[in-house]
Amino acid sequence: MKLGRDFYDRDTCQVARDLLGKYLVRVQDGVPLAVRLTETEAYIGRMDKACHAYNYRRTARTETLFAPPGTVYLYLIYGMHHCLNFVTEAQGEPAAVLIRGGEARAGLPLLTRNRFGKGPEDLSPYQRKNFLNGPGKLCKALALTRTENGASLLGDALFVCDDLADVGLETPPSDRAPLTIRTGKRIGIDYAEEAVDFPWRYYL
């Protein structure tokens, strides 16, 4: 079933771990696109110098981080790449999980059109290998932009579910195998002093 607000209204690191293996579903032009989540990172503003809202810093950009849990925080980096985050913990606590990577499970023709401008049969081996292994790549494939910033994950257009069967899609048998979750340092936060070493990246 779709994940409710209670799922996101918890410790951010635990949410980041628990999202692995679940399915992000985005409905685009009536077509359901589904991605199995394989890599996440936790960001916790009250004590994490890598978080945009570190020490409760409120700006026009970070205001969404203070929204209710289950809200989309979507921002642009380097002026070109979008990054999808799920707001966590209680409203007013700036924390979120960055969605770093996934695997396509439904709507592949539209996902590849969004990402590369061509069908799946025309992808090179390099494009297949590097299809959704990065936050900007995932957002491009799902056609997610700043327009979705502040959207709810509790509706019908963008949400996370436990099983694709819950939304009338087929879950591959291989996805039902037990998960092996690994942890490591987050990527691209060299400026964050001691927070650089927090083991808050989770991946399958």
Nearest CA-CA partner of 104 in 23, 189, 192, 35:
35
Would the CA dihedral through 148, 153, 157, 160 be positive or negative? Answer: positive
Asked if 113 and 119 count as a contact pair (C-beta separation under 8 A), the reply is: yes
pLDDT in tens, the chain (204 residues): 899 999 999 999 999 999 999 999 999 999 999 999 999 999 999 999 999 999 999 999 999 999 999 999 999 987 789 999 999 999 999 999 999 999 999 999 999 999 999 999 999 999 999 999 999 999 999 999 999 999 999 999 999 999 999 889 999 999 999 999 999 999 999 999 999 999 999 999
Q: CB neighbours of 92 closer than 8 A, spacing ≥ 6?
A: 66
Structural domains for the chain: 5-203 (3.10.300.10)
What the block records as the tokens of 161 is 């579910």
Q: Are 141 and 135 in contact (CB under 8 A)?
A: no
Closest CA to 198 of 181, 186, 180, 189: 186
> Could you give the count of Cα atoms lying within 13 Å of 122 in the half-sphere of its Cβ?
10
Task: Locate all alpha helices (DSSP H) within the chain, ordered by sequence.
Answer: 5-8, 12-19, 108-116, 125-129, 135-141
Determine the pLDDT at residue 67. 98
Residue 36 near residue 20, CB atoms below 8 Å: no
